[in-house]
Structure 1
Amino acid sequence: MVDAEFLGPWGRFVLIGAGAAAVLVFLLIIACFLTPGCIGYECVRKRRSICENVESQGRDSPNSINGTFESIETASTLPKDDPLKDFPTELTMSLQYLPATAENVTGKLVIGIEAMSNLPQKQYNCTLEPYVAVNIVKQSWNNRNPEKLHSFRTRGVRHTASPIYRETFVVADVKPQEVKEWAVDVTAYDHDRYANHTELCTLRVPLKEVKKLLTSPEIHLLNYKMKRSSKEFGNILLGISYLPTAQRLTINVARLANVKFAPTVPTLNDFNPYVRILMLNGKTGRKIKKKKTKYLRADAQPEFNETLTFDLTFAQLETIQFLVAVWSKNIIAEENSIEQHSDSEESINSCKKSKDICIGKVAIGKGARGATEKAHWFSVLQNPRKIVTVWHTLK
């Protein structure tokens, strides 16, 4: 035999052993590529992740953004643009407890809001006007429904993301054992003259965690990093197109979903939604034109399917921005005013219309801050005469 001639009497066993060794090595290699932690598995995983990142970057790039927005679900997964992500908002505040003395029969808690820095930017291209709301709450055992005891608010400071307040608030008749059960809720808001005030960031300070607050009557100056607000009020479906020949931009307000109207509006029967769109100057933030849809009565998932038209030159598309806001109409106030027939001054003042309530908003345009909002706008510019429809989050 051939194996006996070349390998001697043990040739057959040598060949069988070599074949078994080759099969064993092959199985080990397959197991290495399938078992997490092995070198082969990690190499394949890294190569696969690199390919996926390249493909995702290609989909999200401006050159291929039209394909992204063909699917509404894909649009909601775009990364959020936050230029201040690495610079957290900081609050400087002071706390002081003055115990009862001969002059002060009861104790006093003094809260000072000194300054803030690195507040988040506005949704659209306009300066901030931040103010701070301070609430003293009594903590419960689960911290879910704290009881609000006292509320304060600072003044607004215009045109700055790092306001200086230096305002103090005093709570009188406070016992030391009560202070240990209290917490100070600090919330920064941006005053918006066109829509709802935007919650920027929040902070809760349990007073029992402030060292030496009850043992030392001195002023305790404290610095805290605040948490960026993630409050959302639902979603709105918008379809936008631009006609270069007619120099006209159309915005189709399709429908709303998952609208969080409570507690701003007490019940569904009081929620009468409509959408108001403001065309703003992208440099100054001033209102140029406004239009709105019809309102629907007591509808939690309203469908409008209305198209609002704005005349725009191609050059204006670089600066113009749109603020889309969802409002609830106060129908009861209008009905009461119609029923009033007296011309006396008292009756006229009593039947004045109450203002409608803004639920949430979203900004569209080149100056918008959000990644989805910017991408939607650039997709419209790159696809003239085509309606680009995207879900947006109300804030």
Structure 2
Amino acid sequence: MPALTSDSTYELANATTAWPFPVTYLTTDIYTNTTLNPIQASINDFLDKIPMPRWLTVVLFVIGGVIILILIICICVKCCRKSKTKKEKKEKINLKGVSGGSTTALVQPDVADLNYGSSKKYRGKLLYSLEYNTTQSELTVGIKQADSLKAMDLGGSSDPYVKVYICPEKDKTCETKVLKNTLTPVFNEQFTFQITKDSLMQSTVVMQVYDFNRFSKHNIIGEIRLQLENFDWKSIIEEWQDLSEPSKHEEGNLGEICFSLRYVPTANKLTVVILEAKNLKPMDIGGSSDPYVKVQLTLDKRKWKKRKTSVKKKTLAPYFNESFTFTVTFEQIQRVNLVIAVWDYDTVSRNDAIGKIYLGCDASGNQLRHWADMLSNPRRPVAQWHSLLSTKQVNSTLNLKRKVPMPPKMPFK
């Protein structure tokens, strides 16, 4: 029997039972008792069966995994592009199917308006008429009706009205009445503009359809621009035309102002509250303004009473919330016009007028509607937003005379 080593003697001495097995079995048993995860053990067995070095096997598996990941990403990108292309084709087909339903006027666009009218969505169509009286130098624009207007309200409808003016002078702006909750309004209104034949050949008539909102900015649905030199004025012109996207080449808006009106007949009190303004035209070099508001009453085409708000520094969206009360009898309220003018205050130079709006007996469109709502709801304030017009336009329309003559004072006794 061979002699035992010291290590083997130690292991046999600590065993509870003498096992007649070689020492090599004991060393193998110690190796198998190490803590190995069953999954890891199976992976090791699988790698041992591959006839190549362990490091090379791991590298090949990593490269294969990266290639599979790249293939999956490429497939996903291709599918996304394919679905996007199908969606775009579907939208183009729908647009072509909608836009071919009405006849349009043969009007060549001006060079400045070559990029105008690229409408992506159908906005509706408008029936209008044009007539020019050479002897009286009058252009009559008739707004007949609209059809299939784009819905602008959450309920799927609109409150449309039409604004008409002539470029480039834009001395006069006319508005139709507002028709509630309809996409097929019938207006049947006519507006007359004084214009010579020479100016007519160089002018463009603009008809803009708006959606009325009392407490926010009125949203434009679409517009029609017609160069008047392209028409034969020997007969009345009447036709349908599709609305287009509003032109972006025209001078920007002057801004909007919100104010409330309240009239109490029993007390003969007219209260005007200037609430706020927004999107005002910048008048200073730094791109801002120092706005304030003048409130003026006119009686029988003559300047009568006026007040003004405080100045708000360096802002295009001032908040005023200032109230003014005037004594106006019920007989006078039928002959009064209210002029709201926004000015830019300058310390050194002369103050600049930003824009004006007027309401009253000579007003039309939204301005007349606001005034009528005030009269039909006595003792209740009626607030509304208005778009500012140019000072030249308002002054030429009102054509105010000198101040109202004051009654002579009674001599003291």
Bin the TM-score by the shorter chain.
0.3 to 0.5
Give TM-score scaled by structure 2 length: 0.37
Give TM-score scaled by structure 1 length: 0.39
Q: Which has the larger radius of gyration?
A: 2
